[in-house]
Amino acid sequence: MSTAKQPAGEAVLAPVFREAVAQADIAISITDPQANILYVNPAFERVTGFPAAEAVGRNQSMLSAKATPTALYADMWKKISAGIPWSGRLVNRRKDGAEYLADLLITPVLDAQGRIGHYLGIHRDVTSLHRLECQVSNQKALIESVVDAAPLAIALIDGEDCVVLDNHEYKKLMGDLGMAEPASLILDAVRADLGHGLGPAKDGALAFADREIRIDPPGGRPARWFACTGAWVKSVDEGAEAFFGRQDSLYLLLIAKEITRQRAQQEKARMAALQATMAEENRVSALRESLSAAIFQMEGPLNVLASVLAMSERRGRHDPTSAALSEALAAGQAALDTLRRAIPEPTTETLTAANANELLRDVLDLATGRLLAAGVTVNWKPQAVLPTVRGYPIRLRALFKALVDNALEAMNAKGRQVRELTIATHALPESVEILVEDTGPGIPPELHLKVFEPFFSTKPHHAGTGLAMAQQVANDHGGLIEIDAHHAAGCRLRVVLPTRATA
């Protein structure tokens, strides 16, 4: 030690330093350059079990449990011999033989000439902390294994609808659907199904539960169905600034279970029932169309006959011919009344939420046989998730069927080489757009409005009620139907239906 006279301030502080080291609640030891112990504080005695009288004079290696790798000691000596502090964890052994994990810091102490004169060692027993860290790590790994092995798509979503954590099944879903974040699509579908947002977030509360949603993948692939549940979970802020004033964050835990296979069985039964319903509806519609056409055809001559009789009466003629005409008119009007009463009443429906993709797919599935027989290729381009339309599903199916039938008839003429039917859906602000496009001969611009008139048709021997009926259904739902005047090849019909009930 230096014999130079110490400044007065250092002389005053020296006892304070000694007492601070002695009373520090962390094990402190001072050794010579060969690691022989010169001093230990009381905390060292408590941690190691070696009294100061036994420790002083012995080498620091007395604490080694021989479980620490030799390479670690070599790295430690390389650094401290170069005057560089070293920190790490070692396995030590107490006097009673019990092993413990020591978190150690060794600082070389240089003399006035810059040579290493001593080593200052500070260590604490972190066995309990290490055990806790292992337990947390093991639990984390176990949870991750369970989550990854679960046959459910799981994603943790922040307030911006961004996925911050997911599992293998979710990643698989990303590949299957060909999109970066299916979670946003699923949440959009859930919100559309709910008809509102997810509501206020509250830790531990369910945002929604068992909501069945439909996703129509691109490329005409079959629809996928998922049962979705969302729960709010809290995340504690890890920042130092939030230690005393915590700003916890809430995340949405999304769990999506694919139920496509189960739905496929239900769909099979539903389609069988729907086929029977549509067949009956078609029969009734055909009867209604035939009766309406007959009434329309009879009304013309009867109106002429009524005009002739009215003219005869104004001239004061009451001959046998007028009487016969009057009897014929009365009989004709009675026949008209009979025909009107024979027209079947429209099917009574309840206003409900309907998915346009699902209704269109129903129509296409039921028309598959006719489309194949006519050699028509279908390009199905639905938006993956559509907001629901408030309306009458049977009438909407009839609308879409009329458009598909119209396109099929237009392309089913001899000599047409390209027969393609393209159906696309898009979500617009507060409405849904459906485009039905065919490669038929098209409709002349001067007939773009006339084709929607009842009983008008460009085809021979056709009643011409399909597009008129489609327009009536669209109007009843507060929507519109029109022919795209800018489409050059074939015909493109555009239907827009509001997502809010206006029917």
Q: In what order do the strands lie in the sheet with 86-93?
A: 37-40, 27-31, 116-125, 99-110, 86-93
Average per-residue pLDDT for the chain: 85
Q: How many CA atoms lie within 13 A of 408 on its CB side?
A: 20
Predicted local confidence at residue 3, as pLDDT: 44
Predicted local confidence at residue 10, as pLDDT: 65
Predicted local confidence at residue 170, as pLDDT: 92
40 Cβ contact list (under 8 Å, min separation 6) = 27, 28, 29, 30, 50, 52, 55, 56
Average pLDDT of the segment spanning 63-67 = 92
Of the candidates 475, 298, 315, the one whose C-alpha atom is nearest the C-alpha of residue 391 is 475
Q: Where are the domains of the chain?
A: 8-130, 150-235+248-258, 262-345, 348-503
Predicted local confidence at residue 415, as pLDDT: 67
Predicted local confidence at residue 6, as pLDDT: 57
- Residue 87 pLDDT grade (very low, low, confident, very high; cuts 50, 70, 90): very high
Q: Alpha helix locations (H) across 319-441?
A: 320-342, 356-366, 368-373, 393-411
Greater confidence (109 vs 216) lies with 109
Of the candidates 500, 459, 457, the one whose C-alpha atom is nearest the C-alpha of residue 477 is 500
Q: Assign domain 348-503 to a CATH class.
A: alpha beta
pLDDT at residue 12 is higher than 90 = no
pLDDT at residue 310 is higher than 60 = yes
Q: Which of 70-84, 193-207, 341-355 has the highest mean pLDDT?
A: 70-84
DSSP 8-state assignment for residue 149: H
Predicted local confidence at residue 356, as pLDDT: 92
- Residue 2 pLDDT grade (very low, low, confident, very high; cuts 50, 70, 90): very low
Architecture per CATH, domain 150-235+248-258, reads as 2-Layer Sandwich (3.30)
Contact 407, 438 (CB under 8 A): yes
Contact 391, 351 (CB under 8 A): yes
DSSP 8-state assignment for residue 166: E
| Dist CA 1 CA 324 (whole Å) | 146
Among 15-24, 122-131, 348-357, name the one with the lowest average pLDDT.
Answer: 348-357
Angle at Cα 39 formed by Cα 35 and Cα 43, nearest 5°? 110
| Dist CA 446 CA 454 (whole Å) | 17
What tens digit of pLDDT does each residue of 247-278 get? 678 899 999 999 998 888 777 777 777 777 77
Average pLDDT of the segment spanning 1-25 = 72
Among 63-67, 222-226, 457-461, name the one with the lowest average pLDDT.
Answer: 457-461
What tens digit of pLDDT does each residue of 383-416 get? 888 888 888 888 898 899 989 988 898 888 776 7
Predicted local confidence at residue 459, as pLDDT: 62
Average pLDDT of the segment spanning 73-87 = 96
- Is there a common fold for 8-130 and 150-235+248-258? yes
| Dist CA 120 CA 107 (whole Å) | 5
Q: Which of 81-95, 157-171, 222-236, 282-296 has the highest mean pLDDT?
A: 81-95
The CATH number of domain 8-130, selected from 1.20.200.10, 3.30.450.20, 3.40.50.1460, 3.20.20.70? 3.30.450.20
Percentage of residues of the chain with pLDDT beyond 90: 37
DSSP 8-state assignment for residue 345: P
| Dist CA 60 CA 39 (whole Å) | 11
Give how far Cα 342 sits from Cα of 299, 351, 465, Å.
16, 26, 18
pLDDT at residue 43 is higher than 90 = yes
- Residue 503 pLDDT grade (very low, low, confident, very high; cuts 50, 70, 90): very low
Q: Is the dihedral of CA 256, 259, 261, 264 positive or negative?
A: negative
Average pLDDT of the segment spanning 443-452 = 82
Greater confidence (170 vs 194) lies with 170
Of the candidates 70, 106, 116, the one whose C-alpha atom is nearest the C-alpha of residue 91 is 70
- Residue 290 pLDDT grade (very low, low, confident, very high; cuts 50, 70, 90): confident
Percentage of residues of the chain with pLDDT beyond 70: 90
Q: How many CB atoms lie within 10 A of CB 280?
A: 11
Predicted local confidence at residue 462, as pLDDT: 54
Q: Residues of 252-272 as b/e, b for ≥16 C-beta within 10 angstroms?
A: bbbbbbbbeeebeeebeeeee
Q: How many CA atoms lie within 13 A of 379 on its CB side?
A: 11
Cα 427 to chain centroid distance, Å, stands at 16
What tens digit of pLDDT does each residue of 415-443 get? 677 889 999 999 998 899 999 999 888 88
What are phi and psi for residue 501, nearest 5 degrees? -70, 120
What tens digit of pLDDT does each residue of 138-174 get? 998 998 898 888 899 999 998 888 898 999 999 998 8
